[in-house]
Structure 1
């Protein structure tokens, strides 16, 4: 009946929400490392996170709707997604590298290759005019790194939710609600990191 169907859909939504939220916790630590490495002023972090989340919502919408369409047409892709999750899990488990250096990331080299980036912050601006040339600020580079890191995490989390349901609405809305809560959790984590300095190491 309608009630049992609604309860089933609600259960799928809540499960998808919990999966996305739990997998997104790693994002917060990566975001904190990125902000710390680039020495982003605290009063500018909220701007990067705001636009980072907006970008994440758009990217995930494209990935989810495209992925759901592919799964509906080629159901065997579910098994490929599952194999990919197992592979990434094993890779993370075997990875013993503790150092994180965003400057070595390929996205930084790619961004600085195609976009002229200033080495300084200029208030909350992402772009400035420098010698008559439109130049990206260091804040723009931080935003690009944040977006790219979220994209990497999305590649892991979205296939996990597809294992529960291929309903586009449920997958996307559960992602949205989980992501929107990350901003609040980040500032809580950042505050704890300031209070307990060794939290940054662990």
Structure 2
């Protein structure tokens, strides 16, 4: 698997991720089981976005230094930004599912932070494996690109049809299986995953929530990772843009949870993005869509969906 990044840039990326996770865990430990307010979530979201942009600038400088070609460095930096924006926007749909899970299990806001941090760790590990595997497959078998494209196209159509409908969590087969295998307490016991009732060790509802969040990470990784390969096949750019989009997931959840009802049309926009990306992959050998045009389409769809949501917010009944 060929990549534009020198070895030292890989090492720096790993170091940044480790430091970022350490900071996030330190903040989580300091705050304890306490609700995350809108202002705090907004501040941390801006910090993670700023870190991502700073890394993109560093990527441009490193590639310009090693290649001596500013146009080449700009193209790769634009690929990172487009991939980051794409993964960040698809993470929004992920967050809406998290919100549904937390609401269904009536998880206190103070306990949601720990679940989300576990979800972030799982998402980073899972995506790293899937991205490297996907990059290897594309390098060995070009036709896999068409499989990814068809999968995204079908997923986008299904997402469009399901948009606006309330998912029936009680019909989730994973949840039914977990309830059948594990004895589950009807009450929470702080942030514990296990507790004792009448001398018997049983799972708390928080363990069920973690299991469903992990399952959601798997499902959305399968959907989102093929999408970024339509932007670039370089494993370094794919991995870094994906991981940086996931790093701020915890803060972004609490930020969007407060305004989720205002962007009720966003799922339709995400469905259109998947259809566009899937089509782009299917026609890649016949029509080359420039990276700047892909970025423009993604941004336009997102802004359009958000503006239409805000415009219709006054007529849409509250959830």
User: TM-score scaled to structure 1, two decimals?
Assistant: 0.88
Aligned counterpart for 1:91 among listed residues 147, 151, 158: 158
Does the 8 Å contact 2:96/2:260 carry over to 1? Answer: no
The aligned residue for residue 117 of structure 1 is: 184
**Separation in 2, partners of 1:103, 1:159:** 29
Q: Which residue of 2 aligns with 1:7?
A: 74
Q: Please state if 1:37 is matched with 2:104.
A: yes
CA pair 118-97 structure 1, distance change in 2 beyond 3 A: same
Alignment counterpart, residue 56 of structure 1, candidates 117, 120, 123: 123
Tell me: CA distance 1:97–1:199, structure 2 relative to 1, closer, same or farther (3 Å): closer
Equivalent pairs counted in the alignment come to 200
Cα distance per residue 1:92-125 (max 9 Å; x no partner): 2233772222221111122233333323211101
Task: Write the mapping of 1:44-83 to structure 2, written as runs, cut at 5 A.
Answer: 44-83=111-150
Q: Deviations over 1:81-101 (max 9, x none)?
A: 000111111122233772222
Output one character per residue of 1:14-59: Cα deviation in whole Å (capped at 9) or x when no partner. Answer: 1110110111111121111111111001110111111111111111
Between 1 and 2, higher relative CO (CA 8 Å, sep ≥ 6) is seen in: 1
Which of 100, 106, 114 pairs up with 2:173? 106
Separation in structure 2 between the aligned mates of residue 199 and residue 177 of structure 1, nearest angstrom: 35
Residue 152 (structure 1) aligned with residue 219 (structure 2): yes
The verdict on how the C-alpha distance between 1:199 and 1:3 changes in structure 2, with shifts beyond 3 A counting, is: farther
Is 1:23 aligned to residue 82 of structure 2? no
SS in 1 for 2:92: helix
Partners of 2:232 and 2:88 in 1: CA distance: 17
Structure 1 residue 182 and structure 2 residue 252: aligned? no
Q: RMSD across aligned C-alpha pairs, in angstroms?
A: 2.4
The CA distance in 1 between the partners of 2:253 and 2:144, in whole Å, is 34
1:128-179 deviation per Cα after TM superposition (whole angstroms, max 9, x unaligned): 3455654321101001111211221111111010112222221111111111
Q: What is the alpha-carbon distance in structure 2 between the residues aligned to residue 93 and residue 29 of structure 1?
A: 15
Separation (CA, whole Å) in 1 of partners of 2:317 and 2:119? 24
1:128, 1:71 → 2: CA distance? 46
Matched residue of 1:14: which SS? helix
Unaligned runs of 5+ residues in structure 2 are: 1-66, 263-312
2: CA distance, partners of 1:148 / 1:199: 31
